[in-house]
Copies of this chain bind each other. A is one copy, B any other.
């Protein structure tokens, strides 16, 4: 039983006034234009009786602003793992969006889409700005920046001095995780690294290398295994753990990969943390529920997402905050998977 669309003109007709008057009443333009209480009341009545709802498209078209922001993710990146990372990010973003009176649109893009195409979809007027969660070598941000389209990168740094971003110090995070293991006496430490297109993944790896070298250990090439997601092939890890000089510790670039590693280790009848210590990254809620609970580097995902939205809104409003980079500090949540507590 689809009612016909009720427009502002219908309301105007019903209330016996012009469209404009209705518009003024709805938007409460106090100070600019005064409407008599009687008229105002008649209009509200008509609105209620007709069940009128303003059309956001039309409104956005004239206002030149939609009050909607987009969250643009890399298709593969989002759904590759089952980690709580994305969810916590969305939670933070949506919380802050609500706070700022914005709506949220999700852009996942199709698999084969090129950046040009994606950029067109993003800049087609439906959103005022975008939060980008993308690889470091992704061209999308460049296109947006060249067009002056407001956007903020999150969980990565930008390659241009004019592009705002919210990140966490991943080198330090990687360093902290590794140092913790070193301090516990481990020397043979494996690093399960993320994609080589991911700035955080590379940075965490560098942090790992840095900590190792500081200890006078040149990390063996075999010790760094690329495992971007929990579904990645784990045989290199299995083989390494079978070798005579088996590593005694694993630092994984993400929690879900760490959990996958724990499973691999368990299946080899090795104990955690007695035989193998494990450290993850993100310290998502699931870390509290693994057995043993997983030590992990925490980045304030929720807060970072909120900060991203806040910055984005400022950009949309034409502000140009001094600080381009907003880099949070990681901390280490020590649980029991490394035998430290």
Contact = CB atoms under 8 A, between A and B. Distances in A.
Contacts of A108: 94, 98, 104
A108 B90 CA distance: 10
B57 A125 contact: yes
A94 B82 contact: no
A83 to B, nearest CB: 9
Given A78-B91, A106-B104, A57 B68 contact: no
| Chain multiplicity (copies) | 2
A82 B87 contact: yes
Contacts of A286: 82, 259, 286
A110 interface: yes
A55 interface: yes
A58 interface: yes
A266 to B, nearest CB: 6
A110 B98 contact: yes
Nearest to A80: B91
Contact of A106 (B2, B78, B84, B90): B90
Given A78-B90, A98-B109, A103-B105, 20 more contacts: A3-B148, A53-B120, A54-B124, A55-B61, A55-B124, A55-B125, A57-B57, A57-B61, A57-B66, A66-B126, A68-B126, A75-B94, A90-B106, A98-B110, A104-B108, A126-B126, A230-B289, A256-B289, A289-B290, A290-B291
